[in-house]
Amino acid sequence: MNVMPRPPKRRLGQVHVPAVTLSHGGGGKAMKDLIDDVFISVFATGSPEALEDQARFDLAALAAHGDRLAFTTDSFVVDPLSFPGGDIGKLAVFGTVNDLAVGGAKPLYLSCAVVIEEGMKIDELRRIALSMAKAAAEAGVTIVTGDTKVVQRGACDKLFITTTGVGVIPPDRILGIDTVRPGDGILVNGLLGDHGAAILAARGDLALESEILSDCAPLHGLIDALLEAAPGTRCIRDATRGGIATVLNEIAEASGVSIEIDEGAVPLREEVRGFCEILGLDPLYLANEGKIVVAVPAEEIDAALAALRAHPLGAGSSLIGRASRGEAGRVTMQTVFGGRRIVDMLVGEQLPRIC
Amino acid sequence: MKFADEFRDRDKARALVREIETLADQIEITRTRPLNIMEVCGGHTHSIFRYGLEGMLPPSIELVHGPGCPVCVLPMGRVDDCVAIAERPGVIFTTFGDAMRVPGSKKSLMQAKADGADVRMVYSPMDALALARNNPDREVVFFGLGFETTMPSTALTVLQAEADGIENFSVFCNHITIVPTIKAILDSPDLHLDGFLGPGHVSMVIGTAPYEFIADFYKRPMVVAGFEPLDVLQSIWMILKQISEGRAEIENQYKRIVPEAGNDPALAAVARVYELREFFEWRGLGSIDHSGVKVRDEYARFDAERKFAIPNVKIADPKSCQCGEVLKGVLKPWQCKVFGTLCTPETPLGALMVSPEGACAAYYQYGGVKPQRDETMAAAT
């Protein structure tokens, strides 16, 4: 959507050195060249916003999509920058797109602020910017504004990206984490823990070979399909850091319900199960980047499951549990073995056990 | 998951629980009090909580969570020593992940890392040796921790360092041995244990013979158990079977992993590198004779304790902390004065709250913490 008349095309600067130096953050020509060559050339060639300090939106055009603005921000500091199934750029776009989408919003615009450690290879930066541009195109959003800072070696870990997103929520969509009622079904849209396992394996210090790919994906299409089939959907959360265990605890707490899940219904890839088994990790706490936890009223469970499963990103969807009247804020799991245990919030980070 | 799911079969579990109930009913003791069975090993504690086994057992069987979590029984002073070594300039301090959060008197290794010490998590002591090889200008110290399960791997790493002529590598040895501690627990006047689940991984190294005194002298049955939930249930059944038949023997349920004679090459490596200490301090239990090992004189140059002047200060456990009673099974975790209030996994006061294998952390994480749950939990155990 073009909101301003386009000025004549200007000439974009170019970078001719192999690595980022502090001068690329100095505010002068080197910085302009870096921004032009690496970011603007792939994000929005000739976009009028590129010349301004801010993106500008036509309110009437925004209002055509719905009646509420959704606004979110997230920083990405993943190590390593590239991993099987994605990289920090793709993550930074889809992560923010998904934060908008789980509120029912149609994602429209993103900002992109980068903090670069001096010495970073221009080619790697270029590859990540390109990955962001591809991801934005796939998700149907435009990167309209940004910022670039370069810091001394050691002051950041290669590259940090912050994306902020703006979207619009259609009038009929009312989702809230505090609206879940006893009897509601709890659904997930597929295999859990792939992203967390892929990142851990990619760090290389485990000496474990794995073919697990990050599940990093934009979920607004899936969510559109879900909300069309199950308009009574209570809430949607993306199960990123802290995994589904954290999301379930947040829902139980906010809605004042108890949630019981069935271990046998939790979709897990064999490799991820084996991975967790070896390292003593609990897959319920592993991060996902393309998975949502959905609460729907009992009468819409079947419709919601069918809609999710019909979408390519929801083929492995499963009803993993129910909300109930039990102790408010409590999440429990019926184990595959027939026992029952509490699923609590994660304390600190998961650390591999020694034996 | 092949070779794991077979040991997590719900129907087999139900059948086993029914047999356990029948056997328990036949045992005289259960008419006056529950049978107390101690699982010595933290790995068993973890399985018991992860699969909700306590709730499946009849109330006539009480599981007592023993001292077999090496991270939990590590005294505060030793953590301070770790921090002191880690904060020396030029040192890369390497450790297994779950030792990162153990509180010292001033800070944990995780806090030391945040303060600038070069502390790195590794998954094997060989990874630490590789770090030493790749960083010849740095001193790499590995935090040797654990029972006989991990002892051979650090011993073999020291032997490898010697063979490769790597001089910038050393082990801060905190290895402990379980048998003297089981004896100390059996000698303790304030508890009644009716049987033991024997540690599976430790026994894979030492075999089953070292436990014979438990049956011969103390007349208590022990069953060396595997870590899958069916292993644990079957082992409980085997203990009950012994009690009901008036036997006290050392049996091996974990035959697929544990050879009765132990593992000779592993024991040989341990004997070459380590010797028994006169005594070692256990958090919550105090000093226990011959319960730890140290690096032999021949390998002194790989011994961090001798390489660096460590403060070696003894720090008393916090007064309010009742880890000792919980470790011996005298108190249930939630009966401790500070459980879930001053002492939580976020801010652990006592050792048992630190590692997921610690009984208190397991209760907190998997068993509930709110006071109103106390009665239900007591009834369920």
> CB of A338 within 8 Å of any CB in chain B?
yes
Asked whether B235 and B252 are in contact (CB, 8 A), the reply is no
Of A336, A340, A354, Cβ closest to residue B8? A336
Say yes or no for a CB contact (<8 Å) between B98 and A353. yes
Q: How far apart are CA B23 and CA B240, in angstroms?
A: 6
Q: Do the bridges between strand A86-87 and strand A82-83 make them parallel or antiparallel, or are there none, so unpaired? A: antiparallel
Give me the CATH number covering residue A101: 3.30.1330.10
Which pLDDT tens digit goes with each residue over A193-229? 999 999 988 887 766 778 899 999 999 999 999 999 9
Report yes or no for ipTM above 0.90: no
> CB of A337 within 8 Å of any CB in chain B?
yes
A132 and A218 share a domain? no
Q: Which A residues in the span 206-235 are in contact with B, Cβ-Cβ below 8 Å?
A: 206-207
Total Cβ atoms within 10 A of residue A204: 9
Q: What is the DSSP letter of B353?
A: G
Give me the CATH number covering residue A197: 3.90.650.10
Q: What b/e string do you get for A24-48 counting C-beta neighbours within 10 Å, with b at 16 or more?
A: bbeeeebbebbbbbbbbbbbbeebb
Boundary (domain end) residue, out of A141, A169, A197:
A169
Residue A280 lies in a domain: yes
Residue A12 lies in a domain: no
Q: For B68-77, B123-132, B209-218, which range has the lowest pLDDT when averaged over its residues?
A: B68-77
Contacts of A342 in chain B (CB under 8 A): 365-368
Say yes or no for a CB contact (<8 Å) between B98 and A351. yes
Q: How far apart are CA B244 and CA B35, in angstroms?
A: 12
Say yes or no for a CB contact (<8 Å) between A340 and B10. no
Q: What is the pLDDT of residue A47?
A: 58
Boundary (domain end) residue, out of A145, A169, A193:
A169
Q: What is the pLDDT of residue B369?
A: 39
Q: Tell me the average pLDDT across A304-331.
A: 96
Which pLDDT tens digit goes with each residue over A221-277? 999 999 999 999 999 999 999 999 999 999 999 999 999 999 999 999 999 998 888
Q: For the residues of B75-93, what is the DSSP string, one character each?
A: -HHHHHHHHHHHTSTTEEE
Percent of chain A with pLDDT over 70: 92
Residue A154 lies in a domain: yes
Residue A353 lies in a domain: no
A161 and A237 share a domain? no
A153 and A198 share a domain? no
Say yes or no for a CB contact (<8 Å) between B367 and A342. yes
Q: Which domain holds residue A147?
A: 22-169
Contacts of B381 in chain A (CB under 8 A): none
A37 and A116 share a domain? yes
Q: What is the pLDDT of residue A209?
A: 76
Of A274, A335, A352, Cβ closest to residue B1? A274
Q: What is the pLDDT of residue B200?
A: 93
Contact residues for A312 (Cβ-Cβ < 8 A; gap 6+): none
A310 and A193 share a domain? yes
Per-residue tokens: A323: 């909300």
Q: What is the pLDDT of residue B371?
A: 33
> CB of A328 within 8 Å of any CB in chain B?
no
Total beta-carbon pairs less than 8 A apart between chain A and chain B: 96
A130 and A274 share a domain? no
Which pLDDT tens digit goes with each residue over B243-268? 999 999 999 999 999 999 999 999 99
Highest mean pLDDT among A341-355, B212-226, B313-327: B212-226
Domain B5-68+185-199+211-240, CATH:
3.40.50.11750
Contacts of A348 in chain B (CB under 8 A): 101, 345-346
* pLDDT exceeds cutoff 60 at B101: yes
Closest CA of chain A from B290, distance in Å: 23
Say yes or no for a CB contact (<8 Å) between B123 and A342. no
Residue A179 lies in a domain: no
The mean predicted confidence, pLDDT, of chain B is: 89
Residue ranges, comma separated, of all CATH 3.40.50.11750 domains in chain B are 5-68+185-199+211-240
A153 and A206 share a domain? no
Q: Is A235 helix (H, G, I), strand (E, B) or coil?
A: strand
A195 and A159 share a domain? no
Per-residue tokens: B149: 């399960």
Residue with tokens 């998590």: B121
Closest CA to A243 of A278, A186, A292, A203: A292
A121 and A216 share a domain? no
Closest CA of chain B from A297, distance in Å: 28
Contacts of B13 in chain A (CB under 8 A): 337-338
Say yes or no for a CB contact (<8 Å) between A354 and B13. no
Say yes or no for a CB contact (<8 Å) between A342 and B46. no
Q: Which A residues in the span 252-281 are in contact with B, Cβ-Cβ below 8 Å?
A: 270, 273-274, 277, 279-280
Residue ranges, comma separated, of all CATH 3.40.50.11740 domains in chain B are 76-176+292-307
Residue A180 lies in a domain: no
Q: Which B residues in the span 91-120 are in contact with A, Cβ-Cβ below 8 Å?
A: 96-101
Q: For A173-187, A320-334, B310-324, which range has the lowest pLDDT when averaged over its residues?
A: B310-324
A159 and A208 share a domain? no
Which pLDDT tens digit goes with each residue over B293-352? 999 999 999 999 999 988 888 888 778 888 888 877 788 888 999 998 989 888 888 778
A106 and A194 share a domain? no
Q: Is A136 helix (H, G, I), strand (E, B) or coil?
A: helix
Total domains in chain A come to: 2
* pLDDT exceeds cutoff 80 at A299: yes
Which pLDDT tens digit goes with each residue over A110-137? 999 999 999 999 999 999 999 999 999 9
Say yes or no for a CB contact (<8 Å) between B46 and A355. no
Q: Could you tell me the fold of the domain covering B76-176+292-307?
A: Rossmann fold (3.40.50)
Contacts of B344 in chain A (CB under 8 A): 347
Closest CA of chain B from A350, distance in Å: 9
Say yes or no for a CB contact (<8 Å) between A205 and B122. yes
Percent of chain A with pLDDT over 90: 77
List the beta strands (DSSP E) in chain A: 68-76, 82-83, 86-87, 106-117, 142-151, 159-169, 185-188, 235-238, 258-262, 292-296, 318-324, 331-334, 340-342
> CB of B123 within 8 Å of any CB in chain A?
yes
Which pLDDT tens digit goes with each residue over B168-205? 999 999 999 999 989 988 988 877 899 999 999 999 99
Q: What's the pLDDT band for B67 if we cut at 50, 70, 90?
A: confident
Q: What is the pLDDT of residue A353?
A: 59
Boundary (domain end) residue, out of A143, A169, A195:
A169
A205 and A162 share a domain? no
Residue A311 lies in a domain: yes
Nearest chain B residue to A335 by CA distance is: B51
Q: For B51-55, B219-223, B375-379, which range has the lowest pLDDT when averaged over its residues?
A: B375-379
